């Protein structure tokens, strides 16, 4: 594999000096791009894209052809692990993912197993290796997974939910059963992410999309505990290269210090938390990724640049900032506005790195 031509994302995640703040976007490969919509229509479905390594590679590369992004992220889905467990993942138009066999009973839980990345998830590792070769060392490739808690919410609810009543009922009525689910999922994520690294991923991210719906006590017990287990079990070095690990809990600003104590390298921060406050809270232990409200991309070019400047000033000088949106880019955003955003980060961030 060739060395990285642009390693700013890796260096920033490890809190090493860079000449400008690197930037990428959550969901940067996806529905806001007309070329993605055309390819998806041709493939027939989202899963037809995600399970075809060549098509997944093409989708991953699409935003890199438009924007000067500092990292690529594997095009896949967070629900690949429960799908590989045989739960019958499918997508309902207008509603999102659903499972034919939700996990509700002790028997359901006992039937769960750790999927083999070389078997049930081979299409993912094949996609990683295909993308890594296609990138030719231009930028690093980020691999990812959903967190155990987030995966469990979909598996137990059976699909999207607004009040999390089924999983929270299990949490309060049969906590030992839920812990069993989360334990299997943590083991699965460790094996899955390590396989991604072995296939060519150069950084890892764990998306805890629904951790923010928990109380502080329950977050520690049912979400962070299992992300800690994952951090402890991951390849942190591979083939002589350090593999940065980022944790992201949406609406998790109150728990950043606890998250930083897991030993991860970086934390994702959403737009509900000020980066200056996050920097103080975490005490410089980790890099910070974020944290522009994705809806700013509906604004004018001037408004987008203004917000980029505000967030850069919030973080201030020095290494350890990876610019990103606070969550995924919206599907109705104009690609031209995403370009304004990316270019503004590169241009306006340089003064913050001159003293390094």
Q: Which residues of the chain have pLDDT under 70?
A: 1-2, 355-356
* From 7, 70, 77, 83, the catalytic residue: 77
Alpha helices in the chain (DSSP H): 8-13, 34-43, 46-50, 53-66, 80-84, 106-110, 122-135, 148-157, 165-173, 175-199, 216-219, 225-233, 256-260, 275-282, 301-315, 335-349
* 40 is an active site residue: yes
pLDDT at 91: 84
Q: Which residues pair with 241 in a beta bridge?
A: 238
pLDDT at 3: 82
As annotated, the binding site for substrate includes: 27-31, 77, 154, 209, 327
* 66 is an active site residue: no
* Separation between Cα atoms, residue 95 and residue 198, nearest integer Å: 35
Q: Which residues pair with 245 in a beta bridge?
A: 204
Parallel, antiparallel, or unpaired: how do β-strands 72-73 and 141-146 relate? parallel
pLDDT at 1: 43
Among candidates 242, 252, 253, 249, which has minimal Cα distance to 279?
253
DSSP helix/strand/coil, 112: coil
Omega within 30 of 0 (cis) for the link into 12: no
Residue with tokens 């809270």: 281
* 37 is an active site residue: no
Fold classified for 8-353:
TIM Barrel (3.20.20)
As annotated, the binding site includes: 27-31, 77, 154, 209, 327
Q: Give the CA count within 13 Å in the CB-facing half-sphere of 148.
A: 28
* From 20, 32, 154, 226, the catalytic residue: 154
* 154 is an active site residue: yes
Residue with tokens 């642009």: 6
* Separation between Cα atoms, residue 336 and residue 126, nearest integer Å: 32
pLDDT at 298: 98
Q: Write the CB contacts of 260 (distance below 8 Å, at least 6 apart in sequence).
A: 267, 281, 282, 283, 285, 286
pLDDT at 354: 85
Structure confidence by residue, pLDDT tens digits, 55-109: 999 999 999 999 999 999 999 999 999 999 999 998 877 778 999 999 999 999 9
**pTM for the predicted model, two decimal places:** 0.96
pLDDT at 93: 73
């Amino acid at each position: 594999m060739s060395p990285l031509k642009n390693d700013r994302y890796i260096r920033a995640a490890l809190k090493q000096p860079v000449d400008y703040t690197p930037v990428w976007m959550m969901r940067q490969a996806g529905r806001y791009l007309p070329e993605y919509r055309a390819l998806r229509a041709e493939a027939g479905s989202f899963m037809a894209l995600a399970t075809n390594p060549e098509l997944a590679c093409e989708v991953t590369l699409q935003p890199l052809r438009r924007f000067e992004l500092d990292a690529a992220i594997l095009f896949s889905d967070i629900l690949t692990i429960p799908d590989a467990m045989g739960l019958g993942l499918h997508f309902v138009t207008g509603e999102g993912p659903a499972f034919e066999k939700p996990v509700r009973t002790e028997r359901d839980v006992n039937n769960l197993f750790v999927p083999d990345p070389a078997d049930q998830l081979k299409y993912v590792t094949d996609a990683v290796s295909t993308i890594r070769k296609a990138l030719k060392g231009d930028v690093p490739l980020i691999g990812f997974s959903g967190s155990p808690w987030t995966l469990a919410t979909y598996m137990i609810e059976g699909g999207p939910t607004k009040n999390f009543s089924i999983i929270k009922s299990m949490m309060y009525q049969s906590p030992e059963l839920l812990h069993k689910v989360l334990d299997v999922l943590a083991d699965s994520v460790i094996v899955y992410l390590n396989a991604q690294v072995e296939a060519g991923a150069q950084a890892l991210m764990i998306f805890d999309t629904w951790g923010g719906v928990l109380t502080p006590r329950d977050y520690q017990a049912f979400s962070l505990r299992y992300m800690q287990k994952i951090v402890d079990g991951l390849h942190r070095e591979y083939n002589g290269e350090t593999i940065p690990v980022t944790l992201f809990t949406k609406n998790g600003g109150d728990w950043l210090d606890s998250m930083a104590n897991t030993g991860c390298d970086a934390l994702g921060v959403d737009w509900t938390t000020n980066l200056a406050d996050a920097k103080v809270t975490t005490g410089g232990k980790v890099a910070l990724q974020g944290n522009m409200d994705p809806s700013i991309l509906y604004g004018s070019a001037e408004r987008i640049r203004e917000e980029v400047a505000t967030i850069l000033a919030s973080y201030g000088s020095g290494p350890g900032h990876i610019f990103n949106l606070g969550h995924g880019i919206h599907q109705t955003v104009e690609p031209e506005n995403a370009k304004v955003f990316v270019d503004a980060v590169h241009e306006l961030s340089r003064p913050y790195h001159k003293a390094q």
